[in-house]
Amino acid sequence: MRPDVVTFWHGRLDALRRICLRSQVAAGHKVTVYSFDPLPGLPDGVGNAEAEAILPHAFSERLRPPQPDGSWRDWTILQFSDFFRMRLMAARAGLWLDADVLLLKPVEIDPAKPYFAWERPRQLGNSVLYLPPDHPIVTAFENLMRQDELTPDWLAWRHRLSFALRRLRGRSNRLADVRVAIYGPAALTALARRAGELGCALPRQSFYAVHAQPELFFEPADFSGLLADDRTIGLHVSPKGRGGEKPVPGSLYAWATERFGVPV
């Protein structure tokens, strides 16, 4: 089946994200962005839903205190979204795609099976994610969120050691401060291994061909082979601060901008 696409956004949408959302609509998916505030500039065909109904804003304070003006600090958005996507899975909302996933073709899933891909040789990515609502990974996150300290039982020994040292030195009593992706890809990988689901993962080429190398997307290059590869379903861009740049002629970004018709 071709699932609905869902994601979460907090803040201002830059040009790159608007292009990626347009690509998801162009692939034939119904796309909904959840947010706490209205999002101006959403592309035609992209819906906007209230995030509070999925995961309350107050949950962010269990990750770390806000700034004096109430805004979220450093890693809060990324970690909040790690929990948010799992709540969407529990709610049967659809396929999670990060707002910076450029789709090149429709995604088809079996609603009874997990859908994710390798981001690195030994780590799954959670930028593209579908899980059945009763899946053990979803259940593990639901159980975790009932805890006050948000300390997973699947935590790797090196992270346990790092957390213990931070507490001993008085630096932090919050696991969320140990590592930005503590609830993200590493957690998904550990839980998929525990559930015996690593064999379900698609190859890295499916979505993460440019993930760790944004220059392959933003700078002039020969990307014809990438687009011609049948394994490439989409591209998680991971812009690393470059999402507001103007497309450089000859780049994959310029190609995407022309194809999906978003002015910059």
Q: Which SS3 state, helix, strand or coil, does residue 257 take?
A: helix
Answer positive or negative: Cα dihedral of 129, 210, 237, 263.
negative
Helix, strand, coil distribution of the chain in percent, nearest 5: 35, 15, 50
Backbone φ and ψ of 46, nearest 5°? -105, 125
For position 262, what pLDDT does the model report?
A: 55
**Nearest Cα to Cα of residue 64 among 139, 172, 192:** 172
The one-letter code for the residue type at 181 is: A
pLDDT for position 105: 96
Q: Which amino acid is at 35?
A: S
What is the pTM assigned to this prediction? 0.94
Please report the pLDDT score of residue 264 as a whole number: 42
User: What does pLDDT average to in each consecutive run of 10 residues of the chain (264 residues)?
Assistant: 96 94 97 96 95 97 90 91 98 98 98 97 96 98 92 85 77 79 94 96 97 92 93 94 91 95 54
Beta bridge partners of 234: 103
Q: Which two tokens stand for residue 206?
A: 């499916």
Judge contact between 187 and 124, C-beta under 8 A. no
SS3 category, 50: strand
CA nearest neighbour of 236 among 217, 261, 260: 217
Q: At what angle do helices 136-144 and 76-90 cross, to 10 degrees?
A: 130
Closest C-alpha among 24, 179, 171, 169 to residue 104 = 24
Residue type, 145: M
Q: Is 119 helix (H, G, I), strand (E, B) or coil?
A: strand
Q: How many CA atoms lie within 13 A of 257 on its CB side?
A: 19
How much is the CA Rg of the chain, to the nearest whole Å? Answer: 18
Q: What letter would DSSP give residue 194?
A: H
Question: What is d(CA 25, CA 102) in angstroms, rounded to the nearest whole number?
Answer: 10
Separation of alpha carbons 124 and 263, rounded Å? 33
